[in-house]
Structure 1
């Protein structure tokens, strides 16, 4: 199914360099946008207004809200610094820093810890309730490529490997594996309704790993979701981001380097919806808290030398009226 019929809106926000991350707030339709142009932006979708544009001293490589507090955000930056933003006043405070570029950031509402990683091969946790945020450090084997925080768990992608840590016991990972058989990973996303994760690889594959705590029947499988045909040849596009729908259980969306965003049924591994191709790569994806809106960042990603550097754009699609025709992907009641 093609999504030409869905309602969509392009945000009229000039963004001067690549978008690194977009994230909807957990209790509102406020959208956080971090960019390589060193600005953190807060867009209010309901009011159709840019609420905040806060300049920084370095390129912003990731961002997140303080989950239950939509008025506070954090960023990871190319100068290694982790910064806290008061989204009402625009005041920016440093939380601390990595010894090299800080690339990934996430907040655990269950532990009140901010989790960061970067090129210094360290995984850090910060207690941001403290006036001087205290950090615990975990040394990793290599630079972190991607990371996702959900509940008590943080899932880290390093090269072709995934490592899952329990924030209550940071000593060693509770799970380590290579879900795509040695292929480098591009993104990792925690499954919000289950203990598990999905990863996207540079060769167009998605792998899902779901742990079933009620029995020993863990579920794990891999499928190619972004092959393209060019001149009669099979071409594989890197999967840049994955986001799970809060509205439709078993549905998730992927975005690739060819500019396609596609909604899938996790159980049947079938394509449900494909959006019209964007002018740039799909760099980041985010559902709002109700699952009725999907934000798509169309931006070059600095991953491929052949990328066309058109101005980055952010689109928001109304997806609650899309007919999910799969027998296994169903709306949550």
Structure 2
């Protein structure tokens, strides 16, 4: 979407926030006015591959910047967790017309963190397709995680909940596991003839395991209905979110500080009271001064603020940009944001 109000020749900064399911890009003038917004498919290099991710990002950056001079580009993408991954991405975009030595490339958690708070000491945990976190401290120290799946100790998000829901359903069907309403709910949600047919289709590649991420709402609904298996999965997800937050606070020696802990991502945005209540109670027990903040808006807001800051924009521009990006992308701005 393009917006009126700025000269077609005015220079812009471009911000990109890319996850496993979608990618947002916005172009803004240095006074914080949005001139274009586009949304494309997922651009996580871990999920899509490096070349496919670069292709999605290039198309979106080119579309929103059009023929305007580009002052600065900030890219915040899921799947950029290791320094070598960031360097490979930089090499892959180096030949593109809009790329420059000042181009910022980093994990999408930075966009979530900036969207939720500008505090110098802060934590962000994202629970969407997967789970990851980042912590920053005023002196420049940070806490990060490899986020490479089970091999780096990760579990949860839509993919983890879906895989475990199917695991329990399969065991109920063959008699190894406990009774659970998840079995029938999974079959209905994914439109399968039976659970056995679904498992066979997944095994032979006739269906993608990515579909299992769609099962998170089924798990939450079953838990609210009193299903013990689903309830245990919801509790496990809450404990994983809390574990990330605790690890960040501990590694940065912030357990006794009044630190904002920003939660975001699709699973968090579901607003499940059991999961979020368990996270809140656990955080209060380990870090009484920490302030839990649920960020329901699009992280592209944070990416835009970071890009403007990289480009040298002033405070008034940041205030305007927060409202304009929210309006352009259909995201709400939290009260006080």
Bigger relative contact order, structure 1 or 2, given CA contacts below 8 A and separation 6+? 2
Instruction: State which structure, 1 or 2, has the greater radius of gyration over its C-alpha atoms.
Output: 2
Larger % of strand: which? 1
Larger % of helix: which? 2
Normalising by structure 1, we get a TM-score of: 0.29
